Structure 1
Amino acid sequence: MSKLPVSGTSAWRFLRILCVVLCYVDGQPTEAAAQKLSMLHAQGPTIVDASNRPVVLRGINVGGWLLQESYILKTDSLDSQARIQQALLRTMPETAVEEFYRQFRAGFITKADIDFIAKQGFNCVRLPFHYDLFLTAAQRRIRTRAMQNPVNLNAYVQALSTWYDQKQLFTDSKNLEGFRITDDVLNWCAANNLYVILDLHAAPGGQGTDRNISDCLVPLDLWKRRDAKGRLIYQDITVRLWEKLSARYKNDARVAMYDFINEPNGMTAANGLAGDNSELNVLYSRLIDAVRAQDDQHLLLLEGNGYGNEYTNLTPDKLRSKDKRNLVYNAHRYWCPNTSTATDPNPNQINLIRNLAAFRDQWQVPVWVGETGENSNEWFSAAVQELNARSIGWCHWTHKRIEGATSLLRVPAYGSLLTPQGRAALLRNSEFRNCTVNKDVIAALMQPTGPPRPFAAHTLPGTIQASDYDLGRNGSAYYDTYAARTDFANHTPTNLGDAYRNDGVDIQEVTEASSKSFAVSHMAAGEWLNYTVTIPQNGTFLLQARLLNTTTTPTKLLLRLNSKSVVGTITAEPTPGWQTVSAGTATLPAGTHTLQLYVEQPGAVVHWLRLAPPGPAMPSGQ
């Protein structure tokens, strides 16, 4: 980046200050935008900065923002953004739908979200976006017509061809929403010393069969659709879009990587394609050449077939492009084992950690886990522990979602997106200030090997909510027989109650005395929960538990101090309804201790534990 000459005159001092304050001049980054970050590049299998210091990118995806995925919004029956829009258009004029989306994009992710991500210790943000944000409003209207009625698809394709030939695509960088939002994110991230990965999440035409991911009008059209001139027009448009992005950001050190195409999938012979990734090879080689032709040396992230993981005929020796510099190979890791011994017989299938590291070492290229998550805290910790040990970066999916237990932030439920009240509630609830922090998820990601830590402060005498057990790993803060999903075909949730926390512990919402809270349920024999407690002074305590017996036989729970001595036994007969059970008294020493609730005979749903001074019985409710 060129700098203003140093001068002693006030005019030059003023101009230099002005240039530092501004983030962009004619679409190019200034000193203020990139002064803390340097351009990244590949040095063999390692990502390094301009001083050749290794950089391991550990970050967060901001999914569900610039492309709505139905499960993130809890609109699963609507399947994809296009179907959500179609449903909205049945009851609202198009201008109102556009305004709703403008408001949604303005509030779902803001600088407050980026500031929060940085404060947790992450160093990058992956920005998944829809290509239609780089269309003008008039161009998007024609796409909307095709989305509403397939008979309009040919007209949209013909319009795209015309715009492409007349160079009318992606040109208005000052007004196109895609550029404006990207610039905002880059500014917010630079203020926090965070890198940004630009991710084309919904590519023109659709990169796979999964509409929820690509928001395609017709599955796999990126690879199949030809215009009247016989061109694979969506591929031409994808190249044109990356040319425009490269022209704007080629000197921008805040951008860590270009993620060309998110999760290609379904590229099989059964779906009318070669089945050997040759179509991906052709397009990736075109994209590499197009970016490098502009003297853009950014890292380029390639994603394999099969949701970003399979690289047959995409290894560096097979790529048609002759320029193999600064390539990074991606993996998306969900619902698979985290052990270092698990392996896939296909060395080009790299979502398993052993294959991932072997691929990196064989081809001497950096690898990066662009998406991972959607599991339990125990799985998160095991995954990042193994990846961190191998200096492989990763990016958690995702930052926030509606009633989400696996994201950093949980957005309150809002009702129906198809009602004015529901839409207003969604806009309000998804604001950063109205979200709940999932501190257990953050602890699992950022402290995977640390000792257990208090989830809540427990001072005795007092009441301990059963669901407020310590933060930490399975076998350390708690023990549950099923704490992580490692088989993609097994959809059994680790938390059978699907409430409050994201561990293997099963937690359900309960209502007592007209107040909603949480209770631990489905406890098997041998499972246990630990609670860090502080006892200011030696004392004798009355031990109580509020629970529900869901069986026809007595349940039996043990209270242990520091995993050794049993200080109380809680036995509950099969009585209908909630009951408060006394476990006698115990004399406990002052200090900080671990109180453990151990399941000897299962069947209890436990709401709370209470250690109170001996005397008149305390109320049995909340």
Structure 2
Amino acid sequence: MLLLAGSEPWATPAAAQPLSLLHTKGPALLDAQNRPVVLRGINVGGWLLQESYILRTDSLNSQGRIQQAMLRTMPEADVEDFYRRYRAGFITKADIDFIARQGLNCVRLPLHYDLFLTGAQRRARTRALQNPRHVDAYVQSLSTWYDQNQLFTDAQNLDGFRLIDDVLRWCAANRLYVVLDLHAAPGGQGADRNISDCLVPLDLWKRRDAKGRLLYQDLTVRLWQQISRRYRTDARVALYDFLNEPNGLSTANGLAGDNSELSELYSRLIDVVRAQNDQHVVLLEGNGYGNEYTNLTPDKLRTPHKGNLMYNAHRYWCPNDTTASDANSLQINLIHNLVTFRERWQVPVWVGETGENSNEWFAAAVQALNQQNIGWCHWTLKRVDGRTSLLNVPRYGSLLTPAGRMALLRNSEFRNCTVNTDVVAALTRPTAAPAAFVPHVVPGTIQAADYDLGRLGQAYSDTYATRTDFRNHTPHNAGDAYRNDGVDIEPMPDSTATILAVSHMEAGEWLSYTVTVPQTTACAVQLRARNPTAAAAQLLVRVDGQVLAGQVTVPGGGWQTLPVGNVQLAAGTHTMQLYVEQPGAVVSWLQFVPLAGPR
């Protein structure tokens, strides 16, 4: 399936089209028939490079430190076996089929360079992971293997190529393009270990071997040469993403501070790919986590190959207002700057990563980007106890115990994940009208946390529903449970059970519920709530806009079931609203209890 410019990602295609090699013309990305293509998709992060927050191992920080911790209690062969099993199950064809069913058209595949090492070469890297004193020896070994052309050459047996081939096959069966993303480059493209899994930060730009060469850069060029050699005519590959999120290229870190090192490497990478008559579109990422392009515009690149270039932004925790702009025109994570950069340099642009926010932020971002015909790729498909991903992996315990590892392998399989329907809706139906999150039938009980699926101001109102300042770490869902809107939901005890309740309710906030009444009925309405504050809280319950029996007062104290009023409802669909007049209440449920006769 192709998504043509101007189409919505959830639109049903007239007919599935075969994938064709993409190319650029001016600011457009085109297929072989010169039809505009807008890539909208999903990153499969946490699979071929483990990032600690995706697995809820934040104290370990990076894949290398996870491995270090394992190696303290496990033989290296057992660690390798765990990773083989993890890679075999975390993403499978079932996950890719699921992505396709959401109406998306591409998958971005984050790769670790160590997947392209042989077993013996990876063992040398593992020794350096275990003891920093072995880093120099590892670099010397890499230098020798490089000179003897023993790196990245066994395409039939290296894990990296085998895994790419699997993903290409699964995606092609679903008419999905694949973006090849070098997420952890040799030496590390930045100072953030969680992203680059480096032995020493910024070694890609600094480390020289005994011959004085910037060896890790030579390795990166060699790796992309081998990738290009294998896939140069493969139409299933949409883009080559040379380096994920370069960061820390500053004078404070002993570098030029003007992106000149990055510009030089990009020029070399473009040249080596084009030397093999490979015309795949190349995606460039700027400094500062993919966004800043000083000395990286086409006129500054020292390569004669200026065609089939595409520029990237990674959008996190920033405004979606299309009038907001950055004074630096080469900083392009804001939509205004992204559009202006596209027009100024006549190059296509793409948002290679976006996410890690609330549903309202997702929907606003997707709506604005779709209107500008700018593609995007959500981060990420699945994560442990995840609210912002499409799929939620159940918690598994500790990765450092045998039971925890077995549980992770089991829980991360597609069949054991749950779908975050609210996230899917925000991404694929950002302009849709509110709808029931779960079926509500009256008479019956409506859980407060099961308010309607939809946008801020339509399905619910909350005073802090998106994060638009990267410096502000206040969670949009203060309870960090169940759903990904601004509504604050948290588990708490009630009698003998733990329930999900809506808390931190401020004056003026409200929740809306679509309810179905099979036949005309009269009900008494009651509400389960508590109030941990001293002042009385005040709530209103409205049905089809009409207030039931005035205010409901929730006095300070523990859980209590309070009468709201009586209502007669005709058969059909109705809207109920829970409105906060005075804050303080924590609400568990509302209940419609049938009365003996009409009232």
User: TM-score of the superposition, structure 1-length normalised?
Assistant: 0.92
State the partner residue of 1:612. 593
Distance 2:184 2:139 in 1: 17
Aligned length: 582
Gaps of 5+ in 1: 1-33, 617-622
Distance 1:603 1:588 in 2: 30
State the partner residue of 2:13. none
Determine which of 121, 124, 133 is the counterpart of 2:106: 124
- Offset of residue 608 of structure 1: 0.6
State the partner residue of 2:159. 177
Distance 1:615 1:580 in 2: 20
Distance 1:65 1:549 in 2: 43
1:258-290, Cα deviation, whole Å (9 max, x unpaired)? 000000000001100000000001000000000
Is 2:411 the partner of 1:426?
A: no
Distance 2:546 2:524 in 1: 17
- Offset of residue 576 of structure 1: 2.8
Amino acid at match of 1:187: R
* Residue correspondence of structure 1 range 223-262 to structure 2 within 5 A: 223-262=205-244
Distance 1:164 1:605 in 2: 63
Distance 2:583 2:212 in 1: 67
State the partner residue of 1:495. 477
- Offset of residue 513 of structure 1: 5.0
Determine which of 43, 47, 72 is the counterpart of 2:54: 72
State the partner residue of 2:256. 274
**Secondary structure at 1:384's aligned position in 2?**
helix
Determine which of 169, 172, 175 is the counterpart of 1:193: 175
- Offset of residue 536 of structure 1: 2.2
State the partner residue of 2:133. 151
**Secondary structure at 2:318's aligned position in 1?**
coil
Distance 2:595 2:526 in 1: 11
Distance 1:394 1:568 in 2: 48
State the partner residue of 2:562. 581
1:498-551, Cα deviation, whole Å (9 max, x unpaired)? 000000000001333544431111110110001011112222210011111121
Distance 2:303 2:296 in 1: 11
Is 2:112 the partner of 1:103?
A: no
1:574-600, Cα deviation, whole Å (9 max, x unpaired)? 353211111121122322111111111
**Residues 522 and 566 of structure 2 are in contact (CA less than 8 Å); yes or no, is this contact kept in structure 1?**
yes
State the partner residue of 1:619. none
State the partner residue of 2:144. 162
- Offset of residue 95 of structure 1: 0.3
State the partner residue of 2:490. 508
Is 2:68 the partner of 1:86?
A: yes
- Offset of residue 559 of structure 1: 1.1
Amino acid at match of 2:206: K
Deviates more, 1:88-97 or 1:577-586: 577-586
Determine which of 332, 336, 340 is the counterpart of 1:358: 340
Gaps of 5+ in 2: 1-15
**Secondary structure at 2:563's aligned position in 1?**
strand
State the partner residue of 1:17. none
State the partner residue of 1:137. 119
Amino acid at match of 1:592: T
Distance 1:361 1:596 in 2: 46
- Offset of residue 35 of structure 1: 8.1
Distance 1:493 1:573 in 2: 26
Deviates more, 1:566-575 or 1:428-437: 566-575
State the partner residue of 1:11. none
1:270-321, Cα deviation, whole Å (9 max, x unpaired)? 1000000000010000000000000000000000000000000100111101
User: TM-score of the superposition, structure 2-length normalised?
Assistant: 0.96
Is 2:472 the partner of 1:486?
A: no
**Secondary structure at 1:467's aligned position in 2?**
helix
Is 2:547 the partner of 1:566?
A: yes
**Residues 508 and 518 of structure 1 are in contact (CA less than 8 Å); yes or no, is this contact kept in structure 2?**
yes
**Residues 331 and 351 of structure 1 are in contact (CA less than 8 Å); yes or no, is this contact kept in structure 2?**
yes
Amino acid at match of 2:63: Q
**Residues 553 and 573 of structure 1 are in contact (CA less than 8 Å); yes or no, is this contact kept in structure 2?**
no
Amino acid at match of 1:78: L
Amino acid at match of 1:609: L
Distance 2:517 2:491 in 1: 29
**Secondary structure at 2:564's aligned position in 1?**
strand
**Residues 530 and 554 of structure 2 are in contact (CA less than 8 Å); yes or no, is this contact kept in structure 1?**
no
State the partner residue of 1:327. 309
Distance 1:381 1:341 in 2: 17
Determine which of 316, 320, 333 is the counterpart of 2:298: 316
**Residues 510 and 519 of structure 1 are in contact (CA less than 8 Å); yes or no, is this contact kept in structure 2?**
yes
Distance 1:366 1:110 in 2: 31
Distance 1:153 1:539 in 2: 75
**Secondary structure at 2:54's aligned position in 1?**
helix
**Residues 435 and 453 of structure 2 are in contact (CA less than 8 Å); yes or no, is this contact kept in structure 1?**
yes
Distance 2:392 2:504 in 1: 24
Determine which of 485, 491, 511 is the counterpart of 1:529: 511
**Residues 533 and 556 of structure 2 are in contact (CA less than 8 Å); yes or no, is this contact kept in structure 1?**
no
Distance 1:515 1:107 in 2: 34
**Secondary structure at 1:300's aligned position in 2?**
strand
Gap change, CA 1:516 and 1:111, over 3 Å in 2: farther
State the partner residue of 1:597. 578
**Residues 297 and 326 of structure 1 are in contact (CA less than 8 Å); yes or no, is this contact kept in structure 2?**
yes
**Secondary structure at 2:558's aligned position in 1?**
coil
State the partner residue of 2:28. 46
Amino acid at match of 2:224: W
State the partner residue of 1:296. 278
Deviates more, 1:508-517 or 1:439-448: 508-517
- Offset of residue 569 of structure 1: 4.1
Distance 1:538 1:75 in 2: 52
**Residues 543 and 568 of structure 1 are in contact (CA less than 8 Å); yes or no, is this contact kept in structure 2?**
no
- Offset of residue 570 of structure 1: 5.4
**Residues 570 and 581 of structure 1 are in contact (CA less than 8 Å); yes or no, is this contact kept in structure 2?**
no
Distance 2:428 2:271 in 1: 37
Distance 2:451 2:157 in 1: 50
1:446-489, Cα deviation, whole Å (9 max, x unpaired)? 01111111101111111101101111110011000100000000
**Residues 250 and 297 of structure 1 are in contact (CA less than 8 Å); yes or no, is this contact kept in structure 2?**
yes
State the partner residue of 1:15. none
Distance 1:396 1:482 in 2: 22
1:22-53, Cα deviation, whole Å (9 max, x unpaired)? xxxxxxxxxxxx98201111111011100011
Deviates more, 1:365-374 or 1:514-523: 514-523
Gap change, CA 1:35 and 1:291, over 3 Å in 2: farther
Deviates more, 1:447-456 or 1:259-268: 447-456
Distance 1:514 1:40 in 2: 59
1:384-430, Cα deviation, whole Å (9 max, x unpaired)? 11000000000000000010100000111111111111111111111
Distance 1:352 1:199 in 2: 22
Distance 2:495 2:531 in 1: 18
**Residues 540 and 613 of structure 1 are in contact (CA less than 8 Å); yes or no, is this contact kept in structure 2?**
yes
Determine which of 60, 65, 76 is the counterpart of 2:42: 60
Q: Taking every aligned residue pair, what percent have the same amino acid on both sides?
A: 72
**Secondary structure at 2:505's aligned position in 1?**
coil
Distance 2:17 2:210 in 1: 48
Is 2:425 the partner of 1:417?
A: no
- Offset of residue 353 of structure 1: 0.2
**Residues 568 and 586 of structure 1 are in contact (CA less than 8 Å); yes or no, is this contact kept in structure 2?**
no
**Secondary structure at 1:42's aligned position in 2?**
strand
1:42-101, Cα deviation, whole Å (9 max, x unpaired)? 111011100011110000000000000001111111111111100000000000000001
